[in-house]
Amino acid sequence: MTLRLATAGESHGPALVAIVTGLPAGLELERPAIDADLRRRQEGYGRSPRQQIEQDSVEVLAGLRHGRTLGTPLALVVRNVDHKNWTWGMAPWPPEGEPVGKGTKPVTLPRPGHADLPGVLKYGHQDVRNALERASARHTAVHVAAGAVAKALLATIGIVVRGATVDEEALRTAIDEARADRDTAGGVVEVRATGVPPGLGSYAAKEDRLDARLAAALMGIQAVKGVEIGDGFALAGLRGSQAHDEIRPNRRRETNRAGGIEAGVSNGEEIVARAAMKPLPTLMKPLRTIDLETGEEAAALVERSDVAAVEALAVVAEAAVAWELAVAAHEKFGGDAIGDFVAAHEAYLDRIRWR
Ligand code: EPS
């Protein structure tokens, strides 16, 4: 069974939801571990006051009994505490009574760089809020919860995934400066995965390539505009004699310019992937746009937002890479019960040991 993830939820709606299918039965999950990742995602430098409102914590509605997966669909929920301020504005059914709270007036001033304009054009919305609510990076919370489940699966075969910002000090200075100018900042994060066996992914078809899958997963995160694996763009400027990782006795490599992936297949070295985040598009000194009602020039929507979410991206990117590695590992080792998955991994390591 393929490991699959589906999510739903709007930023100021009642909750975010994830359904994970295909997990082996008997996998032990720990609520504190999932909640710790949710907290890490919220703590990043430069986040909006929204993070003081939310206290993200996972609820499990199905698929788990006494801390172990049942092999049935796992349903995860992360509530939006801020929804209490939007009960009229984000009511699923036509609301009764006078408009009250937030989200009661249609948004008609699309922000350049957000989902606002392409979203209303594509779906035929009148109110930009109908596009921005789902496009919001708020829903990365439930991806982080699913990523924590993926990390638990990976841990059973010794794979550890960790994301971090690149150059933390310079990033924090850039965020402070952007905040002082009432502007926003972007940055770069790096995810490293250790313990990945050779042989995840395949060169047999482009969609099977592990690097293609990681790139899609990272590019699928809000505000990510660039991805590289290993030395990525820098490799383009090198000679072949400098760009590859020589194979030494006992399969040892002295360099890892490939970032642990050759021809779309993991090679046993550490997986290294980077993602570049653009500066966030909700600006306190707004850019020029048009009013969708009148077609006239206007200033874009100004509303509460983060100055930067790069530290949050490190956690979200970690979850995204963990999820893709879990899918690839489960594809290779299979198993309806967690013991089958672990045993298949062991048997495979035995097979390749002689080389
Ligand atoms: C976001 C805008 C802000 C962020 C939000 C993502 O939301 P709000 O307008 O409610 O302050 O805080 O991120 C989160 C709420 C979160 O938990 O990550 C956006 O437009 O993408």
pLDDT at residue 175 is higher than 70: yes
CB under 8 Å, gap of 24 or more: what pairs does 232-236 form?
Answer: 232/259, 232/274
Looking at the DSSP bridge assignments, the partners of residue 162 are: 192
Residue nearest to atom 21 of ligand 1 (CA): 136
Amino acid identity, position 46? G
Place of tokens 């400027």: 237
According to DSSP, residue 285 is labeled S
Minimum CA distance residue for ligand 1 atom 1? 136
Instruction: Tell me the mean pLDDT in the region 7-20.
Output: 98
Task: Please state whether the predicted TM-score (pTM) of the whole model is above 0.75.
Answer: yes
Are 217 and 187 spatial neighbours (Cβ–Cβ below 8 Å)? no
Residue nearest to atom 3 of ligand 1 (CA): 305
Residue from 55, 82, 102, 136 to probe ligand 1 pocket by mutation (most atoms less than 8 Å from CB): 136
Cα 316 to Cα 331: distance, rounded to the nearest angstrom? 23
How many DSSP H helices and E strands does the chain contain?
11, 16
Are 213 and 329 contacting, i.e. CB atoms less than 8 angstroms apart? no
Residues paired with 262 in a beta bridge = 265
Q: How many CA atoms lie within 13 A of 335 on its CB side?
A: 25
* Alpha carbons 253 and 268: distance in angstroms, whole number: 10
Q: How far apart are CA 321 and CA 193, in angstroms?
A: 8
**How far away, in angstroms, is 306 Cα from ligand 1 center?**
7
Using the atom order of ligand 1, give the atom closest to the CA of residue 137: 21
pLDDT at 129 over 80: yes
Which residues face 75 on adjacent strands?
19, 62
Q: How many whole angstroms from 270 Cα to the centroid of ligand 1?
A: 33
pLDDT at 132: 97
Ligand 1 centroid distance, CA of 12 (Å): 9
Which band of pLDDT confidence, cut at 50, 70 and 90, is reported for residue 355? low
Query: What are 264-285's pLDDT values in tens digits?
Result: 999 999 999 999 999 999 999 9
Whole-number Cα distances in Å, 95 to 15, 43, 80, 87: 18, 34, 19, 8
Measured from the CA of 132, which atom of ligand 1 is nearest?
20
Confidence of residue 206 (pLDDT cuts 50, 70, 90): very high
The mean per-residue pLDDT over the stretch 138-155 comes to 98
Query: Within 13 Å, how many C-alpha atoms sit on residue 26's CB side?
Result: 9
What's the CA gap between 123 and 120, in Å, rounded?
Answer: 5
pLDDT digit string (tens) for 15-28? 999 999 999 999 99
Residue 166 Cα to ligand 1 middle (Å) = 22
Query: Is 289 strand, coil or helix?
Result: strand
Atom of ligand 1 nearest to the CA of 49: 11
| Residue range 52-80, pLDDT digits in tens | 999 999 999 999 999 999 999 999 999 99
> What is the total residue count of the chain?
355
pLDDT given for residue 62 in this prediction: 98
Substitution candidate for ligand 1 out of 12, 50, 114 with most atoms within 8 A of CB: 50
pLDDT of amino acid 32: 98
Q: Which residue has the CA at smallest separation from atom 20 of ligand 1?
A: 136
Q: What is the DSSP string of 131-194?
A: HHHHHSGGGHHHHHHHHHHHHHHHHTTT-EEEEEESSHHHHHHHHHHHHHTT----EEEEEEEE
Section 95-121 average pLDDT: 97
- Whether the Cβ atoms of residue 230 and residue 267 lie closer than 8 Å to each other: no
Please report the atom of ligand 1 found closest to the CA of residue 50.
11
Q: What is the mean pLDDT of the chain?
A: 97
What whole-number percentage of the chain has pLDDT above 70? 100
354 has pLDDT over 80 = no
Residue nearest to atom 17 of ligand 1 (CA): 138
Q: Residues near ligand 1 with C-beta < 6 Å?
A: 11, 48, 50, 54, 136-138, 141, 222, 282, 303-306
Structure tokens at 229: 């694996």
- Interval between CA 313 and ligand 1 midpoint (Å): 13
| Ligand 1 center to 137 CA (angstroms) | 6
Shortest-distance atom of ligand 1 to CA 303: 9
Helix (H) or strand (E) holding 118: helix 116-123
Task: Tell me, in angstroms, the distance from the centre of ligand 1 to residue 82's CA.
Answer: 11
Return the sign of the alpha-carbon dihedral for residues 338, 339, 341, 345.
Answer: positive
- pLDDT tens-digit profile of 222-235? 999 999 999 999 99
DSSP 28: B
Out of 78, 85, 283, 306, mutate this one to test ligand 1's pocket (max ligand atoms within 8 Å of CB): namely 306
Average pLDDT score over residue span 138-156: 98
Q: Which residue from 5, 24, 27 is spatially nearest to 145, judged by alpha carbons?
A: 5
Judge whether residue 303 has pLDDT over 90: no
